[in-house]
Structure 1
């Protein structure tokens, strides 16, 4: 016997979910997929994907040619609206510029989204990662300084959800592999006030991050700075960059109304 439909079920619009599933099926491996490829990746029938694509095409978000589909520049406006509606990102840019200028290393603003950290703003200086890092790039929270600085002061249920959704896959030579190790790292972050990781997300990458708080004291983002083991040891980078990153995070927190 089927369960009774709840109020939230009645408010759920499945067609929107399917539309986003199709949009998210475009990626670096599938920049110009066929309808069949999109249907497979989105887990939808071909007729359903065809209707969604034709709708998105009429709205200007995708284009089709020769049996293949591609995103149009209009999809960038979705991210632009996010940036323009979040004061944190606008306030972060001068702080990130300060960090990049003082350390001569890349500086970023990270926010938590599910079990991942998303780069919400970035000032690149050198290309230090083999993966392509830009605004919108997602990295697993468990293996990054940004993720740990975000989780260290997060509510217990948020940490539990991230742990449950994390694979703890070994990404670099020093990647932690268990929830217990993550808990120990979070305790260390709370004690010292910042997170430092070395060769966890990938070989040669050293990164540190400090929390940014809103007016109510909630951690809403992190200021992060990254370097390469070819230029610094973790100890050297800690001495060089921690004061700068902590100062930028504190200043950005003050910009957001935090007075603690």
Structure 2
């Protein structure tokens, strides 16, 4: 999957001049499996294999939006860790955020996981598994460019779905 999506993740990073990560769920955590780091001075550099709670990350919430409410409750459980003052603290709050993801196709984390870092993500539900693609941005810059980032993310998602569909058709 990484080989298949890498060119489009690199394009997203180039088009936004921001860091992009590919992740998947590992239990109740989001595990980063690949990233493309922006080539600018002030940038976000994720740690490979870094595990963060699904409920606090945009990538995690994008993946949770693929699940039914009962499964979200089971996956998240009762262990709510407050990573920053902005972290989601209750299941009703999380379920509302997930509803928004289902409506828009995009999840947003405004400093809920790491102070000063905002992220935007979408989920990919493929024959190869479920993945999230996230844009990781210093919060000050995120606020200024959120609408443009959203447009670029949706374009990337469409391109990835087309590319994965081609491979599935060839291998199917």
Tell me if TM exceeds 0.5.
yes
* SS of aligned partner of 2:33: strand
2:59 matched to 1:146? yes
**In the alignment, is the contact (CA less than 8 A) between 1:111 and 1:220 conserved in 2?**
yes
Higher relative CO (CA 8 A, sep ≥ 6), structure 1 or 2?
A: 2
The structure carrying a bigger strand percent of its residues is 2
Instruction: Report the CA distance between 1:128 and its aligned residue.
Output: 4.5
* SS of aligned partner of 1:120: strand
Change (3 A) 1:120 1:169: same
Matched residues in 1 for 2:22 and 2:57: separation? 13
* SS of aligned partner of 2:113: coil
* SS of aligned partner of 1:134: coil
Give the alignment partner of residue 88 of structure 2, picking from 176, 188, 211: 176
Partner of residue 222, structure 1: 132
Instruction: Report the CA distance between 1:105 and its aligned residue.
Output: 0.5
TM-score by length of 2: 0.86
* SS of aligned partner of 2:10: helix
Bigger Rg, which one: 1
TM-score by length of 1: 0.58
Give the alignment partner of residue 232 of structure 1, picking from 109, 133, 142: 142
Instruction: Report the CA distance between 1:184 and its aligned residue.
Output: 0.7
**In the alignment, is the contact (CA less than 8 A) between 1:211 and 1:219 conserved in 2?**
no
Matched residues in 1 for 2:71 and 2:161: separation? 21
Change (3 A) 1:128 1:168: farther
**Long gaps (5+) in structure 1:** 1-87
Give the alignment partner of residue 112 of structure 1, picking from 12, 25, 34: 25
Change (3 A) 1:152 1:90: same
Instruction: Report the CA distance between 1:253 and its aligned residue.
Output: 2.1
Aligned residues: 165
2:13 matched to 1:93? no
Matched residues in 1 for 2:7 and 2:79: separation? 35
Instruction: Report the CA distance between 1:156 and its aligned residue.
Output: 4.2
Instruction: Report the CA distance between 1:95 and its aligned residue.
Output: 1.2
Matched residues in 2 for 1:121 and 1:190: separation? 25
Matched residues in 2 for 1:178 and 1:140: separation? 13
**Long gaps (5+) in structure 2:** none
